[in-house]
Chain A
Amino acid sequence: MTKLVRDLMHPGVLTCRKNATLGQVAVLLTQNHIHALIVADRDNRFLGIISDYDLMAGEWLSVNSESLATMRSLTAADLMSYPIDTIEAGKTLIEAAHTMIEKDINRLLVVDHDAPAGVISISDFISSIAREEKARRDTVADVMSDAILVCRDKTPLISAARTMTQAGWRSVLVVDSKGQPQGVVSGKDLMPFVENGVNEKLTVREVMHPVLTINIHASLREAADQMIHNHYHRLVVVDEDNPKTFPLGIISSFDIVAEMARPGSIWQA
C-alpha cells in the first residue's frame, strides 16, 4: 500500500514567537531534539520556519564584539525562511520527497484540510529508510553502521570522551595521519578514569585497544564468534579486496542484538 505523508510525519507543530532570540530558539531546538521550529505570531499564525542551519549564522557572522552584539539582538523573525512550504497529509511520501528535492528544503509543514497537522523532515525519511532495511540479515554488511566516529591518534582523551557523549556513540576509531586505523577507544577503556578523572594531556593513543577487523561479507555468526572469542564488543569492517582503504564501518555487539530485536527478525517470529 502507498505510504502517505501522515504515516511518517511528526504530529503536532512546535513553535516559537517571532521575537525569540537566537539563543532562545537554540534552547527550544535542543530541548525538543528537533532541527527546526515554526515561527508564529501572538495569534499563533504561522509566519515562517527557523532551523538549526539558520542559527549557525550567529556563530558564522559573529567575528567581533560588534557583530556578536548585532547577532544576539536578532530574532527568529529576522532569520526565518518564509513562506513555509506545505504539503497535504494525504499526499504520498514520494510526492513529499520530490517536493523537498526540487525546492532543496529539509522539511515541510503538513496540513490537513488547511489546518496544520505536523511536520515531515528529511530525518523522518532517514528513519523510514532505516526501518525498511532489507529483511535479509545474514552478513555484517546488513547490520553494521556505515558512519564511523573517528579521531586522530594525538587527540586528547578528554576531547574524544566529550565527542562520544555528544554523538551518543560508545566508541571512537583512532586513525593516523593517513587514515589508517590504529585502535579503538571504547567506553570500557574510559572506565579506569571514572574515579580519578582524566589527565588533560592524555591522548587516545595511550588508552586505545587494538583493532580487530572483519570482512564486510562475513556472516553475523562469524562476527559474533569473533567477538565472543576475543571478548571484543566491536569490530572494524573492512573490504578485504582493498585492505589499504579506509574502513567501511563498525559492527558492534549492540548492532547484532538490535537486529535480533527488530520486529520481523527471525528472533521475533
Chain B
Amino acid sequence: MAGSSIGMGEQDSVERDKFENELKHILKVSDESGILLRVIGALAFQMHCPKYGYLQHALGRAYTDIDFAAYARQTKEIQKLMNALGYQENHEVFIVSEGDRAIYEKPEAGLHVDVFYEKLDFCHVIHWEGRLEVDTPSIPLAELLLEKMQIVQINEKDVIDTIMLLLEHPLGDHDRETINIQRVAELCSSDWGLWRTTTMNLEKVRVLAQGYAQLTAEQKTEVDSQVKAALARLDQEPKTLAWRLRARVGDRVKWYKEVDEV
C-alpha cells in the first residue's frame, strides 16, 4: 500500500496503555476545567469502537501520538492546561500554522500531543464549528470517517481505522453511536474535491478490506455493504451548481492540497 508506515508496527500493551491512560488523564482535567477537547486519530477510533477496537492491535496499528480537535476561542486555556500537565509547546508550529495547530511534547515520557483548532486542514478542510458539542470524548463519527477519507494518499493505518468504524457503527442521519452519513453527504455535495477523495477512498477501503486475513468473511461482507450504502447515499445527495461545474472539469485540475508531515 502506498504511503507512510508511521502508525504501523508492533506495539506492546504497556506502550498502548501509556497513550490511553494519558489521554484519559488529559480529558479528565480538561473536562474539569471546562475546556472542550475532542479526540481524533487512532485513539478516537479505539475509544469509539469497543467491540472492534482489537483490530488495531491485531492488524499492527500503533499509537504514535494523541490528537485533539478544539475551538480557537479556548487556545489560551489549552496552552495553560498543557503547560500545567508538564508539556512543552512547539511555538513554531503554532505561529507557522497561524494558530490552526499546536504541538505539545513531553519528551521524557515519549508523548506527543497535537491540537487542531477549528478545523482539520490537510488535503481538504473539515470544520469543527458546532460539531465538537455533538459527541464525546471524540469528534462525531461522521467527522471521524471524513478525517480518514479526506487523505488523498491514504495509508494502511487509515484503512484499518475506517474498517473498525464501519464494522462498529451503522450509517444513519444522526450522530448517536451512528455514522451520520447525511452530514458526510451534505459536505461532499457542495465540495466536489472532498466528494472525489472520499468516494475514491471508500472504494479503496472496500477493496482492501477483502485482503485482510484477520477479518472474517462476515466482517468483509459487512464492510463491503457499508461502503456501498455510503457511496449510494453520497450519490443521492443533490449537488450544488458549483459541484456540477467542478465535476465537468474533473481530475484534469488538482482537486486537493498537498500535505507535508509535521
Contacts and interface: CB of A to CB of B under 8 A. Distances in A.
Q: Does A associate with B in a complex?
A: yes
Given A54-B245, A79-B249, 16 more contacts: A53-B241, A53-B245, A57-B246, A57-B248, A61-B249, A61-B253, A66-B254, A67-B253, A67-B254, A70-B252, A70-B253, A71-B249, A71-B253, A74-B252, A78-B252, A79-B245
Nearest to B252: A70
B245 A74 contact: no
Contacts of B241: 53, 104
Interface of B: 241, 245-246, 248-249, 252-254
Interface string A64-105: 001100110010001100000000000000000000000010
A54 B246 CA distance: 9
27 contacts: A53-B241, A53-B245, A54-B245, A54-B248, A56-B245, A57-B245, A57-B246, A57-B249, A60-B245, A61-B246, A61-B249, A61-B253, A66-B254, A67-B253, A67-B254, A70-B252, A70-B253, A71-B249, A71-B253, A74-B249, A74-B252, A78-B248, A78-B249, A78-B252, A79-B245, A79-B248, A104-B241
Contacts of B253: 61, 67, 70-71
A78 B241 CA distance: 16
Secondary structure at the A interface, as helix, strand, loop or mixed, is: helix
Interface residues of A, number: 14
Contacts of A70: 252-253
Interface of A: 53-54, 56-57, 60-61, 66-67, 70-71, 74, 78-79, 104
A79 B247 CA distance: 9
Nearest to B255: A61
A18 B254 CA distance: 24
A63 to B, nearest CB: 8
A143 B245 CA distance: 38
A90 B220 CA distance: 57
Nearest to A80: B248
A60 B248 CA distance: 13
Contacts of A78: 248-249, 252
Most B CB contacts (10 A, CB to CB) among A61, A67, A79 go to A61
Nearest to B254: A67
A16 to B, nearest CB: 16
A106 to B, nearest CB: 11
A37 to B, nearest CB: 16
A67 B254 CA distance: 8
A57 B248 CA distance: 10
Contacts of A71: 249, 253
A54 B244 CA distance: 10
Nearest to B248: A79
Contacts of A74: 249, 252
Q: Which 4 A-B pairs have the closest CB atoms?
A: A67-B253, A61-B253, A70-B252, A57-B245
Contacts of A54: 245, 248
Contacts of B246: 57, 61
A156 to B, nearest CB: 31
A78 B247 CA distance: 10
A61 B245 CA distance: 11
A236 B249 CA distance: 45
Contacts of A53: 241, 245
A71 B249 CA distance: 8
A236 B148 CA distance: 56
Nearest to A57: B245
